[in-house]
Chain A
Amino acid sequence: MNAIVLALIGMIILGLGYRYYSKFVAEKIFRLDPNYITPAHRYKDDVDFVPTNKFVLWGHHFTSVAGAAPIVGPAIAVYWGWLPAFLWVILGTVFAAGIHDFGTLVLSVRNKGQSVGTLAHRLIGQRAKILFLFIILILVLMVNAVFAWVISNLFIQFPASVFPVFIQIPLAVWIGHIVYKKKQKMLVPSLIALAVMYIAAIFSSQYSFLQIDLVRYMGGDGASGLFGLGAVSTAFFIWIVVLMVYVYIASVLPVWKLLQPRDFINSHQLVVGLGILYLGLVFVNPKITAPITNTAVSDVSWFPLLFITIACGAISGFHGLVSSGTSSKQLNKETDARFVGYLGAVGEGILALIAIIAAITFFPSKEEFLATYSSFGAASSGGLGVFIKGASNLAAGLGIPASISTTIVSIIVVSFAATTLDSSLRLMRYIIAELGVEYRMPVLEKKHVATSLAVFSSAALVLLPKGPQGFGSGGYLLWPLFGTANQLLAGISLLLISIWLKRLGRNYLVTIIPMVFVMFMTLWAMFQQVIFQWSWFGNNSNTLLFIFGAVIFVFAIWIMLTAFSALSGKYDDKIITEEE
């Protein structure tokens, strides 16, 4: 089958979902009112609450939710063939992610712009707040570990990307200086910085002395490195330590010095990336060589693992944090929620769609696809590499040489992952401080204590699982856990919307069905993984993953029980129903 046809089918379904389904939900279920005074107007303070044009708000919402996750998940999930991944991304976006993002936005707008965490406290009760904090803590811990692994892995696989990524740091400091000290506009300097980075990428792809290849320095794959480890293990160890030192510094510096200017540069990369890939798709017009469904699978079944492997891109709880955390405080009219929330999810679906297409068109034949995607483990550790090579194949259609486009695509993915890593480490620091307040441990509220704790636990988590290439290379084993934590959060948000709709006497099937589906898949997948894979009598016994999996499993059961009692009205915890 032709890849352009697949992309068109996907986009048409997404378009119909927006045109008809979201319109139905907006008018009949949420009953959006153009005259409702949104929090942005009611509490306008020009800091958090700012009425914003819907196109600008959509752009902001989309850039905040799109990242490396909708690329990594689909690149792994094509292991089961392209059709299951394609269907889950498209139908998941239309019926689950769109409604979830749109719904959390409306729920928050109708409740003074409060975040999902506060709303859980109000709609379910006190216990929900602590539960919520712990789930977010697990989620950000997984994000830190997984993305530290993703970046290290890319640095080792594509050493030409290291130099341009590091050159970004002084460029960012320079931009921070001219934007905030010299009060100039940021568009031109950030585009110059991006151009400098890409020129650096061209040079580093051509000249091997600019490629910082730790494995080669130590004498190749089979050589031994430091502390009696292999060369690859040592390289992983060094990159993870370097990254953790970097995020520590970035997290305690004032935001305008490094983080924000880096963001300025990176936000262009989303546009560049999507542009290159979709234009390349049109010019190259590649054939899909991957099988429709992979019948050779014998290790892990697609059902239910597919639904947690692709989290972002089909449904992701993280979006609810953005919807209810910032976007809801800036919505100009209530009716804009459909455009911002639903179309934000559609944008992410389109990103996941091109990730699938890049991975399934890369191989010249089905046999080569099956040889690389030989097991779920191989798919998890190698999927991202396949995406990058597939994406550079598409970019070749625009006349960019393969070695340069490989470097540029890997820079784009590293930048996405690094932005996510930065913000999630900051988030983790805040959560640790908040838990410190909750449990009266004032020492946890100190900036350096909380940051150190966040950095050390993330580094420990990414270094512990052992992959085929040794110490540190097993970070991808955490991917299903990341997916589960993310889906759990989405489940809670959908539950909150359902409870709210039920109390208003509306039909809440549109939110409860995706909620039950997502929670069921998450529970089932975690049960299978915990019992048959990670437990002491499982196939791949692993104590660390077993503990995390078991904790998430218990949380999921807890949420299901809470959901059931809250929806049936028999919940005994103190529920705050009235507007305070």
Chain B
Amino acid sequence: MLDKMKALVNWYEEVLSMPHRREVASELRDEDDLFLLLLYSEMIGIPNPAYYYTLELYPYMMEKFHDWHLRMGMEKSPLTGFRCC
């Protein structure tokens, strides 16, 4: 009985928080997208003096970078040479 009550409370909390979690996650993603744009703006023709250094981060964020360029409407990686896809 107690387990069932607990499950019910969990279900209720899950229902209430689900849409809000999504909204907060999408705001966070928007901010991350902006950050990636700041890092790799050179690739789309915006001069970026720190590019030489930010490129060093690239191998560590390959997966994130791949998702980012897909979201930005680029089917293939804009980076020539070494690339994620």
Contacts and interface: CB of A to CB of B under 8 A. Distances in A.
A47 B15 contact: no
Nearest to A186: B17
B13 A186 contact: yes
B14 A255 contact: no
A47 B22 contact: yes
A112 to B, nearest CB: 13
B15 A60 contact: yes
Contacts of A45: 67
B22 A326 contact: yes
B69 to A, nearest CB: 14
B15 A63 contact: yes
A60 B18 contact: yes
Interface string A185-209: 1110010000000000000000000
B9 interface: yes
B85 to A, nearest CB: 16
Which of B11, B22, B29 has the most C-beta atoms of chain A within 10 angstroms of its own C-beta? B22
Interface string B1-23: 00000000101111111111011
A56 interface: yes
A50 interface: yes
A59 B22 contact: no
B20 A48 contact: no
A571 interface: no
Contacts of A186: 13, 16-17
Given A52-B18, A60-B18, A263-B20, A185 B26 contact: no
A492 B17 CA distance: 31
B12 A48 contact: no
B16 A47 contact: no
Interface residues of B, number: 19
Contacts of A50: 22
A55 interface: yes
B35 to A, nearest CB: 16
A267 B26 contact: no
A260 B20 contact: yes
A190 B24 CA distance: 18
B57 to A, nearest CB: 21
Interface in A462-491: none
Contacts of A47: 22, 25-26, 29
Contacts of B24: 180, 255-256, 260
A264 interface: yes
A46 interface: yes
A59 B27 contact: no
A533 interface: no
Contacts of A263: 19-20
Interface string B57-76: 00000000001000000000
A56 B15 contact: yes
Contacts of B14: 53, 56, 59
B25 A326 contact: no
A187 B8 CA distance: 13
Contact of A264 (B16, B22, B25, B27): B16
B75 to A, nearest CB: 11
Given A46-B25, A48-B26, A64 B19 contact: yes
A326 B25 CA distance: 14
Contact of B11 (A55, A260, A330): A55
Interface in A293-335: 326, 330
A260 B19 CA distance: 9
Contacts of B11: 55-56, 59
Contacts of B9: 187
Interface string A241-280: 0000000000000111000100110010000000000000
A267 B19 CA distance: 12
Nearest to A45: B67
A465 B76 CA distance: 55
B26 A187 contact: no
Contacts of B67: 45
Given A45-B67, A47-B29, A260 B23 contact: yes
A57 B18 CA distance: 9
A64 B29 CA distance: 23
B23 A60 contact: no
Contacts of B12: 59, 187
Interface in A14-59: 45-48, 50, 52-53, 55-57, 59
Nearest to B25: A47
A180 B25 CA distance: 12
Interface in A378-421: none
Contact of A60 (B19, B25, B26, B29): B19
Contacts of A190: 16
A255 B12 CA distance: 21
B15 A59 contact: yes
Given A180-B24, A256-B24, A260-B23, A267 B18 contact: no
Given A55-B11, A187-B9, A187-B12, A255 B27 contact: yes
A256 B17 CA distance: 12
Nearest to A256: B24
B34 to A, nearest CB: 15
A256 B11 CA distance: 22
Contacts of B19: 60, 64, 263, 326
B63 to A, nearest CB: 11
Nearest to B13: A187
A190 B12 CA distance: 12
16 contacts: A48-B26, A53-B14, A55-B11, A59-B12, A63-B15, A63-B16, A64-B19, A185-B13, A187-B16, A254-B27, A255-B27, A256-B23, A260-B23, A260-B24, A263-B20, A267-B16
Given A185-B13, A255-B27, A263-B20, 15 more contacts: A46-B25, A47-B22, A47-B26, A48-B22, A48-B26, A52-B18, A56-B18, A57-B18, A59-B15, A63-B16, A187-B13, A190-B16, A260-B20, A260-B24, A326-B19
Which 9 residue pairs spanning A and B have beta carbons closest together?
Answer: A59-B15, A47-B25, A56-B14, A187-B13, A260-B20, A60-B18, A47-B26, A267-B16, A47-B29
